Amino acid sequence: MAENNEKVPIEMIRNIGISAHIDSGKTTLSERILFYTSKIHSIHEVKGKDQVGATMDFMELEREKGITIQSAATYCIWKGFNINLIDTPGHVDFTIEVERALRVLDGAVLVLCSVAGVQSQSITVDRQMKRYKVPRLCFVNKMDRAGANPFRGVQMLREKLRHNAHMVMYPIGAEDQFQGVVDLVQMKAFYFDGDNGENIREEAIPADIKAECDKYREELISAVSEFDDVVADKYLSAQDISVDELRLAIRKGTLSLAFTPVFVGSAYKNKGVQLLLDGVTYYLPSPAEKENVALDQRNSEEPVILKSDSNLPFVGLAFKLEDGRYGQLTYMRCYQGKLDKGDFIVNSTNEKRVKVPRIVRMHADEMNDVEHARAGDIVALFGVECSSGDTFTDGTIKYSMTSMFVPDAVISLAVQPKDKTGETNFSKALNRFTKEDPTFRVHRDEESNQTIISGMGELHLEIYCERMKREYACEVVVGKPQVAYRETIQAKGTFNYTHKKQTGGSGQFARVGGYIEPLPADAVLQYEFVDEITGGVIPRNFIPAVDKGFKEAIKEGRLIGFPIVGVRCVIDDGAFHAVDSSEQAFKTAALMAFREGYERATPVVLEPIMKLEVSAPEEFQGSVMGQVNQRRGVIVNSGTQDGYAVIEAEVPLSDMFGYSTDLRSATQGKGEFTMEFMKYAPAPRNVQDELIKKHQEAKAKKA
């Protein structure tokens, strides 16, 4: 494989990810891609009686639960193209896996279920693709399911995601009558014969759908004529457009992010996957066509456009860490230059120089050694200690690439090993997990002496507790889930605090005056410090100490002890003493002044509000809505499609614990839901009073 890789020109490399809402068939699609590219020789399913399990779901836990937890990387060859493929999780609790994959990929395949169309997680994934400017194709999967309707899927792409989406494939039949697809570019019908759909049969378009196919091809040409002058001219003068001309126009539209080609098929029934692979090679960019920017640390972070050229200085981004059987495995995307086994590379974050002892290309959990990697490759390195998101160079330059967006944790649990003997393994596991997953956080609560783990949802933390038990033989005792509340202010609060302390020798003196006020709702920063001191009433060298005091104060609110967000602290008055004033005195004065202002600024508790989407058979719609209302949920949207009710709501996280069990029992196990963090909002007065009361009781106990 290494030799082959050397000979493949960069135009023939594709780095793609497969992303979608949970249960849209991403892993099944990855399995078929590997089969058709001869990477595996038999197909295994995600769920069911198949004991082997899908290749890309190689963790035992993934096979048991039938979900993808970690993104898995592999590579394959299709018609001479080298395809690096990352299968990402669909569950919102593992959103960081999608985030970091999209950060380093050049293109993506957005998979939709032909029955459900665009679902809540499809919207999140789409937002992530837009954040990293990733061109995408759409694959409407599960055409064999009852209620399959790809045309509604295209409509939802346009309405819900604002995509300029058009079909490049037209289905022949649907549900149990789904037989194959028509390629609207070539205007030919394709059928997939053989046990696994490996024999492709090309035929004329069936007469009964010919008129429809003509109509959709006309729409496609009209849409892409905007991106290509040749197609536009020929379209306007009603001339024939060749297959190559049409493909080039679709490619230009896709790469400009202003067009989404839509493919249809059924990965489970082995239909349409090979044509999707052709689409990846025709319409998605090579590494050379995607603009990647680094910041030059030696030139006041001046942006530099990286070139996929093997002769330039090396630049690579470590985007994912994994603790494997042989130590830490560092997944790296090479953006510029080349990397040989035995080379020395420099970590731009801490300037450490490390040797690369081994380079491998990953195929799920198998590895194949290679001698070198070059611009455009995704490889894994052994023996390179670093953190997720570090940039590496060859040392001649000092560039850093912007890291990926890491969402805040919304839920915490207190955990401890069941018996004392497990403590070493417990801390080993926590160290490894925090390194691997930036959304998994650990801290020690000084007051209660408990270890607190925080993450993206109940399932996220449950999986890590289960992994500690399996991979580290360390069973853990889990406390009650803790919601990540915040505090803020709703009005302006003035302060004028004098800190005086007289002991033998020099004392402490500092006076700080000013006010605190709420930041606007759309402010990016959660804390702002404004210095309006004039006339030197507080000497310049003490101003940073005041800022430090305020920062200390916002770590713990006075209502329920959670961090304070959305405040601007302004100082405009003060006093100092030539002998008794010190940095410590001003820091303490600022801390106490903030507390004084906070009491006057109408403080409130903020609670995390989740975006909830529930789908269940129509007959249970009433009880599902009732449950959401009981949990203080606000129903934003509800509708039915194909016998299923879909309810969208905004619900406080604190009322959502144990919801999955309740939903299952109310819907005979047929209801499904997804939930993701949406915003913080003030808690109702009764909830706030209850939280304050609990906080006071806990403080009294400790006292």
Contacts 24+ apart (CB under 8 A), 358-367: 358/382, 358/383, 361/1, 361/2, 361/5, 361/75, 362/72, 362/73, 362/74, 362/75, 362/331, 363/39, 363/55, 363/74, 363/75, 364/55, 364/56, 364/58, 364/72, 364/73, 364/74, 365/58, 365/72, 365/324
In this structure, the strands spanning 634-641 and 644-652 are antiparallel
The tens digit of pLDDT for each residue in 663-676 reads 878 887 777 787 77
Quick check: 182 and 188 in contact, CB under 8 A? yes
Residue 194 has a pLDDT of: 87
pLDDT greater than 90 at residue 408: no
Residue type, 426: F
The tens digit of pLDDT for each residue in 59-95 reads 555 555 555 555 567 888 899 898 888 766 655 556 6
pTM: 0.69
pLDDT greater than 90 at residue 438: no
Average pLDDT over residues 253-281: 93
Per the model's pLDDT, the better-predicted residue between 660 and 395 turns out to be 395
Average pLDDT, the chain: 85
Quick check: 427 and 468 in contact, CB under 8 A? no
Residue 57 has a pLDDT of: 46
pLDDT greater than 90 at residue 449: no
In this structure, the strands spanning 378-382 and 358-363 are antiparallel
Q: What is the signed CA dihedral for 591, 593, 596, 597, rounded to 10 degrees? A: -110
